Each structure stands twice: as structure tokens, then as C-alpha cells.
Amino acid sequence: MKAWTPRIWTGLAAVSGLLAVAFGAFAAHGMSQPKPVEWLHTGSQYQMAHALAVFAAFALHRAGIKGMGAAAAFFLAGTVLFSGSLYAMALGAPRILGAVTPLGGLSLMIGWAVLAWRAFGWPADDQA
């Protein structure tokens, strides 16, 4: 399978950021029930942070740092599962969907773990 192009990665990260803003605005202006507002707010915060993390991880991937493509993929998958499940519940999906949310959180944590693991494995030639 051919690797995703920079255009695709950048587009997905940008769409993720756009959706984070949209759902955050919907939480602030389109919902009145406290729990759905909380879910939308939490989902949008996590989604925005990880949209930026996708940009950063993919930039590192393009710079030749191994494992950064995997980190970006975990961030995207985690966002879909974590934020997506919260958004779905806020919009009326059954609360059982909340069982998916921790899987998304786990995927986000794996993305950060991969990033840290690879960062600590970089050559130390930049130190004086």
C-alpha cells in the first residue's frame, strides 16, 4: 500500500482542526444541556490538540524521523474514536458508545508514547 501523501496528512489534520472549532462552537452556542455541552467541549479540546500533533508528527516524519508516521496515525485514530464518540453521544447516540472513548484515549496515549520513544532515541549529536 502506498504511503499517504503530505497533501492527505495535511488535509486530514486541517479538517480535524476545523471540526474541533465547529464542535467547540456548537457546544458554546448550540446546546443547552450540561452533559452534551461537556462532551462537545472535551472532544473539541482533545481534537484541536491532536490536530496540531498530527501536523508536528508528520513534519518530523518528513524530516526522516522514524516512527513519526505511526504517531500521526495513532493521533488521527484516537481523535476519531475519542472525540467522535463524545460528539456522537452529545448528538443523541446511545451512551454505550462511551465504551469506545477509552480506546480513543489509549490510541492518543500510544501516539504520544511513540513520539517520546523515538525522541529519546534520536542521536545526541546536537549536544555540545
pLDDT tens-digit profile, the chain (128 residues) = 356 788 998 999 999 999 999 999 999 999 999 999 999 999 999 999 999 999 999 999 989 888 899 999 999 999 999 999 999 999 999 999 999 999 999 999 999 999 999 888 866 555 44
CA distance readout (Å), 96 to 74, 92, 100, 105: 23, 11, 8, 16
Cα gap 113→121, rounded to integer Å:
12
DSSP 3-state of 44: helix
Neighbours of 96 (CB within 10 A): 8
Task: Yes or no: say if 23 and 43 are a contact pair by the CB < 8 Å rule.
Answer: yes
